[in-house]
Structure 1
Amino acid sequence: MTTTFDRWPGRTADSDWHETSRRNARSVQTTIGWIFWDPGAVARYEALGLPGPLGYIASRGAPLAPAGPEALTAAFGSISSVGIALTFDLLKGDAAAFRDFWQTRDEAVDEGLRRYAPGIVDPLVEMGPALWSAVDRLPRLGRVFFGATVSMPRPQNPLLSGWHAVNAIREWRGDTHWALLAAAGLTSSEASIVHNEWLGYEDDWLSRSRGQTEKEIDEGWDGLARKGLAAERGLLPEALRLRQRLEDATDELTALPWRLLGTDFSVSFAERLEPACELLLARVDETAGPNYQPASRVRERYRNPEDHGRS
């Protein structure tokens, strides 16, 4: 498979590793993402003084909290800058307070995995050391959120240690993906609009779910029109082709962890985690709704951009 990013150093070129990267990205996302809406986590955030969405920002953003809200906005990519600023205001910019949310999130992870997807416990415990070995060999260059995340203390709890190794791989992929979108010239609001249509969701649903304001959404549509990717508040097919190319490039450029881990380990990771991840995805359906965590969902029609947008 080729993309417009073929000239970039670091692409894998190997279609088998591309597929491995694509397949395991789904389990990586699901293993981590279910906690974002988990009532056990939300209750803990509320006990510390923040509602669920802001508690998510504080818990995930703890590694970069000392750098301030602008740095965290840049790292999160598409999450509302308003929500991030409000989180900093409510916590008075106290990095220690952010770490409290990181810790209480971990408590909810340990409790929730054992309760809702017990089949994931042994694989994460057993695979954790090898996953960390791969994480430690991943390049930091340009992956600031990943770098901050791996600087956090590693849990002594073997289940949480394995979970955090997966989380590090997730953040490494996320940093890579946002670098590609930035290189393509897309802003945060533009990227959300294009992603929303590529997913086949209702108008601007994804942008609003991430807390973007109506002003930010309007600016996103205006920017896409100026770039020749939208007209009359509808996307043109080239926007969806671009989004697919970016997804393919992300899969190619984030195959490295799996190459480091090897074929047998990568296949075992997929086969052992996927059944439990289906349970975690069902948990997302229950706690948030079926549109949430789109990276965990399989919709083959995404790969047919001519089915969407304006002609």
Structure 2
Amino acid sequence: MTTPFDRRHGRPTDGEEHDWQETSRRNARSVQTTVGWIFWDPGAVARYEARGLPGPLGYIASRGAPLAPAGAEALTAAFGSISSAGIALTFDLLKGDAAAFRDFWQARDEAVDEGLRRYAPGIVDPLVEMGPALWSAVDRLPRLGRVLFGATVSMPRPPNPLLSGWHAVNAIREWRGDTHWALLAAAGLTSSEASIVHNAWLGYEDDWLSRSRGQTETEIDEGWDSLARKGFAAERRVLPNALRLRQQLEDATDELAVLPWQLLGRGFSVRFAERLEPACELLLARVDKTAGPNYQPASRVRERYRSPEESEGR
């Protein structure tokens, strides 16, 4: 399926009949899972604690290392919904030392290499074999407006073939993430608003997602108040128009994020799905064990949101 966007920008379509948006949606789950399981893994947390930071702040330091020289405000802007207070505290504890941030980056690499081989050994060969092609696509992705992605790909690529493949997947994840946050910003949503609406779209208990990302009660209250002023919430309940918007933003992300897969080609994209999904099921089970079933929602299959009118067939 070729969209007007494809034709305008000359994307390789690799066949008129292929549903690239569905490929984007499907492979986004494996991309998220291949990377995201490490956020709560005890192997990573132990390494962060040995370096003086608790797990959540170690996550900020390790993921944020490429952008650390730009400072806490830049990282807050790039991370989107992660606690600005947590990011500021991380910079304070590490004294803004970029080398200290890179040490946490290296610690995460150690935990990734160890954890993948132990908990999902079936992912090792695919990442090693597919890594060079993944990097070839990453190198052709546009940088414009994607700051965290741009900073991430500027980091040295590890000689370890497994880690190299993992980092290529991580780069694709950050590219999609930057794209998604650009869409949310264009829709006029703030960090706290976005978390509240996303939480409702997922069907989670009240304010769970906001709190899991370290947002304060004041920030959450402000988010509810501003959503109400915009007509997206009433009496601390997200309204259907906000949920429709959230689904539209997800669909737009899937559409814009087809580019890595089109660059890789249909055959490669299908093999990526088929070879990584079984191992990613093991990694997602690892998330359930180390964090809980609400975490890493982007890895989980879910039905598209349908408004009450759509559900009733009107």
TM over 0.5: yes
Deviations 1:243-294 (A, max 9, x none): 0000000000000000000000000000000000000000000000000000
- In the alignment, structure 1 segments of 5+ residues that lack a partner are none
Per the alignment, residue 176 of structure 1 pairs with 179
Indicate whether 1:211 and 2:214 are aligned.
Answer: yes
Per the alignment, residue 111 of structure 1 pairs with 114
1:46-65 paired onto structure 2 within 5 Å = 46-65=49-68
Task: Provide the secondary structure at the position in 1 that maps to 2:19.
Answer: helix
- Any conservation in 1 of the 2:149–2:175 contact (CA below 8 Å)? yes
- Any conservation in 2 of the 1:11–1:252 contact (CA below 8 Å)? no
| CA-CA distance at 1:8 after TM superposition | 12
- In the alignment, structure 2 segments of 5+ residues that lack a partner are none
Per the alignment, residue 306 of structure 2 pairs with 304
Q: What code does the residue aligned with 1:196 have?
A: N
Between the aligned partners of 2:116 and 2:10, the Cα distance in structure 1 is: 34
Per the alignment, residue 134 of structure 1 pairs with 137
Between the aligned partners of 1:78 and 1:203, the Cα distance in structure 2 is: 16
1:267-286 paired onto structure 2 within 5 Å = 267-286=270-289
| CA-CA distance at 1:306 after TM superposition | 3.1
Between the aligned partners of 2:7 and 2:306, the Cα distance in structure 1 is: 24
Distance 1:266 1:7, change over 3 A: closer
| CA-CA distance at 1:16 after TM superposition | 0.2
1:135-214 paired onto structure 2 within 5 Å = 135-214=138-217
Between the aligned partners of 2:171 and 2:8, the Cα distance in structure 1 is: 22
Between the aligned partners of 2:242 and 2:151, the Cα distance in structure 1 is: 32
After TM superposition, the score normalised by the length of structure 1 is 0.94
- Any conservation in 1 of the 2:62–2:104 contact (CA below 8 Å)? yes
Distance 1:238 1:8, change over 3 A: farther
Indicate whether 1:20 and 2:7 are aligned.
Answer: no
Per the alignment, residue 230 of structure 1 pairs with 233
Per the alignment, residue 92 of structure 2 pairs with 89
Between the aligned partners of 1:162 and 1:119, the Cα distance in structure 2 is: 14
- Any conservation in 2 of the 1:198–1:305 contact (CA below 8 Å)? no
- Any conservation in 1 of the 2:243–2:305 contact (CA below 8 Å)? no
Between the aligned partners of 1:196 and 1:222, the Cα distance in structure 2 is: 16
| CA-CA distance at 1:141 after TM superposition | 0.2
Q: What code does the residue aligned with 1:181 have?
A: L
Indicate whether 1:261 and 2:267 are aligned.
Answer: no
Deviations 1:64-95 (A, max 9, x none): 00000000000000000000000000000000
Deviations 1:89-137 (A, max 9, x none): 0000000000000001000000000000000000000000000000000
Task: Provide the secondary structure at the position in 2 that maps to 1:65.
Answer: helix
Per the alignment, residue 293 of structure 2 pairs with 290
Between the aligned partners of 1:66 and 1:307, the Cα distance in structure 2 is: 49
Between the aligned partners of 1:91 and 1:149, the Cα distance in structure 2 is: 20
Between the aligned partners of 2:226 and 2:31, the Cα distance in structure 1 is: 32
Between the aligned partners of 1:41 and 1:186, the Cα distance in structure 2 is: 32
Between the aligned partners of 1:11 and 1:232, the Cα distance in structure 2 is: 47
After TM superposition, the score normalised by the length of structure 2 is 0.94
Deviations 1:11-30 (A, max 9, x none): 98977000000000000000
Q: What code does the residue aligned with 1:251 have?
A: D
